[in-house]
A and B are shown apart, each in its own frame.
Chain A
Amino acid sequence: MPELKFVRPIHIRPLPEGTQPVVSLKNVTKRFGKIIANDSITLDIYPGRIKALLGENGAGKSTMMSLLAGRYPPDEGVIEIDGNPMKFSSSKDAITAGIGMVYQHFMLVDSMTVAENVLLGQEGSFFINPKEMMKRVGDLAETYGLDIDPAAHISDLSMGERQLVEILKLLYRESRILIFDEPTAVLTPEETSKLFEALWRMSEQGKSIIFISHKLEEVIALADEIAILRHGKIEGEFDTNAIESKSDLASRMVGKEVLLEVNREPAQICEPVLEIRHLTGLGLTDINFRVRKGEVVAIVGVAGNGQKALIEAVTGLCKPPVDTVFIMQKPWRKFFAESTWNRSMCYIPEDRMGLATLRNQNMVDNLLLTTRKGFSKGPWLNKKRAEKDTLALIKKYDIRPGRIHALAWQLSGGNLQKAVLARELYREPRLIIAEQPTQGLDVSATEEVWSRLLEARGMAGILLVTGDLNEALQLADHIAVMYRGRILGMLPTSDKETPGKIGPLMAGVID
């Protein structure tokens, strides 16, 4: 992992004796259908301290914070603010009580300005004056030394700037309890360090900060105290200085010994299956690289730096300029004209539910989605054979629930991704485009996806697009860093220096 530059100004901030918690959760339970997302959680939040909530995806972190933010009420238990039991009927109540939340997916209206977004719901009067609103927000930003134009539209801002807008919202509302849900996912390492400094300063001013993450390094670097959430329950609460080791923390989070490392045996490297030559356009500038059969090339970078355009140009979702993209040694146009359903290219997209599956159809139809040509004879479709093969894949990949008539939307994230992977590997691809293949998956599903991808190197070259640097370092032979539509460096993972070089490149810094 690239090292975080953030160093805590004071290593230990002991909790003064007798400090009263600002927020207390007492036996809070929340169910969604059969799933218990939060199981009788008891937790105290103190002023002037940073509490990290560590847990895997699906552990119940976001649910718990949504309860605090008033998005929905708990089924059982109470939330106390300053010792008084509260009943939030909407986000408004939580905001009034001083709770401010920055969601993982920013809650900003793209077509409105920064000022309008900051003041939404806090205008203070029925009639509004755009000029005065700009001034109010501009002054606020200046007070806190935040560099942002209140007249800019959200759609024109980078992810880092959007996060500033979210923080401005909390500052404007003078929230006392600030919740950050996976705030670093869209930031470069440098931006992350800046955010952490800001969080530290705010906690010094007496604000309580809840920091939700599944990244161990970040939690250790930032938090005063850590609570671990697993399967909806608090598994442990301790001060950061009481941690023995990172792996200790990891196994407490996951509930078993894991290291999140895979054994990457070198595979035999053969002919190139993807070549990009001087690709300029679609927001990209002079992209050059190739992927050979048997190797994994990872593209990393902060989201929104041209990865989407690159993927679309390769996978055929949009058309690249002539003679820039070559797949299996054929020019793009020729490849797609001649492309067959199997032994060709496959694409595992980030948006599994929206793009890669038919959400209201069963497993057989979902298998047929990209393999239908393999099951057709003339105009007819051999559904019997498709059913048989679906069943075999469900067994092989242990996709649950193990019924072929289950509908796609009934599958959990991990099982859905396994189903997509099973289908795409069934096509015996020569080139695999995998986009954020483990995002939102739990550890065991992540391990499975990783090993399947590495195994697939026997037949294919893999282009991996990911925001998770650890994933790139684990799987790839080479890592390309993208910044503003360019590839700033192609680094071999065999080089010990590589991890340290990625961070600056992600921020566009070239020595």
Chain B
Amino acid sequence: MWEFLIPLFAATVQSGTPILYATLGEMMTEKGGVLNLGVEGIMSISALAAFWVSLVTGSPWLGFLAGGLGGMALSSLHGFVCISCLGNQVVSGLALTILGVGLTHFLGVSYVGLSAPGFFPFDFPLLSQIPVIGDIFFKHNMLVYISFVIPVLFWFFFKRTSLGMHVTATGEMPAAAAAAGLKPIALRYFAVTVGGFLIGLGGAYLSLAYMHLWSNGISGGRGWIAVALVIFAFWRPGRAVAGAYLFGGVMAFQLRLQAMGTNFPSSLLLMLPYLLTILALILSAWRGKRIDAPAALGTNIEPEG
């Protein structure tokens, strides 16, 4: 039993990590009051940016950074359309996904099948020796270890820093933030770009630590799952971790079944994560209230005077 479960759980962490980055990124964006449905597009383009930079410079770390910056660039486009031009947040996010996915195909077509220097698993000193836990959590690549820290930082940022409190106030009631002498527009740009950076790191993970080979459609719906997970997580980082690993688990499980060569049609197996997403939303609706969502989420700040 353990021989099957431990590798499965390890694979869960491995495939849940990009979703975790993206979920936290979207959560950051939404905490500031902006809904960004462009996650799928941002992840794609940043996966490519990371891949390309790593390929050219030979440094996966520079690639990882480039992924984050790529995500930041694309989401600031969303920020410009919604925050400065007051465009509809839903439609702008969709447009961003269309643009991002298209751009990735367009620019990435010549790299299909190539591989760039990436991140590879190693045993984390000491911690990997712990039985079971070590096998599941501490025999991964560096980006997985980084992802362990980010939810904690996320929590700390919102609970223990004034900037985090300002972002929360902007997502809840921009007028109150403005009356307190804050700059809601700037705070929203901050949330959108930092969130975009995190989403971009998730994309970078896909091409540098997960696939190792460039292929089209690399994001495969993970961006959308991340958007759903933010709702599932009630805008709390701890629950985001749980949600991301839940999905990682399903993806790992489904890959394993496929690899074992069951007779079960693969197309039905591939439906699992998507079905689970809907199920997760049904389950989170069970709690019956939506007060956890930032009150001003999805509404733009109209200029005065």
Interface residues of A (CB under 8 A from B): 30, 32, 66, 69, 71-73, 90-96, 101, 103, 107-112, 116-117, 120-123, 125-130, 169
Contact = CB atoms under 8 A, between A and B. Distances in A.
Centre residue among A66, A91, A94 by max chain B CB count within 10 A:
A91
Contacts of B288: none
Nearest to A102: B179
Contact of B160 (A32, A122, A129): A129
Nearest to B305: A72
A95 B181 contact: yes
Nearest to A31: B305
Contacts of B162: 123, 125-128
Contacts of A110: 172-173, 295
Nearest to A125: B162
Centre residue among B166, B176, B182 by max chain A CB count within 10 A:
B176
A94 B163 CA distance: 21
B196 to A, nearest CB: 22
Interface in B138-171: 159-163, 165-166, 168-169
B295 A111 contact: yes
Given A72-B304, A95-B181, A120-B165, A107 B172 contact: no
Given A72-B305, A91-B179, 19 more contacts: A30-B305, A66-B304, A69-B179, A71-B304, A91-B178, A91-B181, A96-B181, A107-B173, A108-B173, A109-B172, A111-B168, A112-B169, A120-B165, A120-B169, A120-B182, A121-B181, A126-B162, A127-B160, A129-B160
A128 B179 contact: no
B197 to A, nearest CB: 19
Nearest to B303: A72
B180 A116 contact: no
A109 B173 contact: yes
B179 A112 contact: no
22 contacts: A30-B305, A32-B305, A69-B179, A71-B179, A73-B305, A90-B178, A94-B181, A96-B181, A109-B169, A110-B173, A111-B172, A112-B165, A112-B168, A120-B166, A120-B177, A121-B182, A123-B165, A126-B162, A126-B163, A127-B160, A128-B162, A169-B180
B264 to A, nearest CB: 46
A71 B181 contact: no
A126 B161 contact: yes
A109 B305 contact: no
B180 A128 contact: no
A322 B133 CA distance: 58
B305 A128 contact: no
Interface of B: 159-163, 165-166, 168-169, 172-173, 175-183, 291, 295, 304-305
Contacts of A66: 304
A93 B181 CA distance: 8
Given A111-B291, A120-B166, A128 B181 contact: no
Contacts, number: 84
Contacts of B305: 30, 32, 71-73
A291 to B, nearest CB: 34
A92 B180 CA distance: 7
B183 A90 contact: yes
Main SS of chain B's interface residues? helix
A114 to B, nearest CB: 13
A128 B160 contact: yes
A408 to B, nearest CB: 17
A103 B173 contact: no
Contacts of B169: 109, 112, 120
A127 B181 CA distance: 18
Contacts of B183: 90, 92
Contacts of A90: 178, 181, 183
Centre residue among B166, B168, B173 by max chain A CB count within 10 A:
B173
Nearest to A116: B165
Contacts of A95: 180-181
Contacts of A73: 305
Contacts of B173: 107-110
Contacts of A112: 165, 168-169, 172
A95 B183 CA distance: 13
A127 B175 CA distance: 24
Question: Which 6 A-B pairs rank lowest in CB-CB distance, beginning with the nearest?
Answer: A72-B305, A92-B181, A121-B180, A123-B162, A107-B179, A107-B176
A412 B168 CA distance: 34
Centre residue among B161, B162, B295 by max chain A CB count within 10 A:
B162
A38 to B, nearest CB: 11
B292 to A, nearest CB: 9
Centre residue among B175, B181, B291 by max chain A CB count within 10 A:
B181
Contacts of B166: 120-121
Centre residue among B160, B178, B304, B305 by max chain A CB count within 10 A:
B305
A130 B161 CA distance: 10
Contacts of B177: 109, 120-121
A420 to B, nearest CB: 24
Contacts of B304: 66, 71-72
Given A110-B172, A110-B173, A111-B295, A91 B180 contact: yes
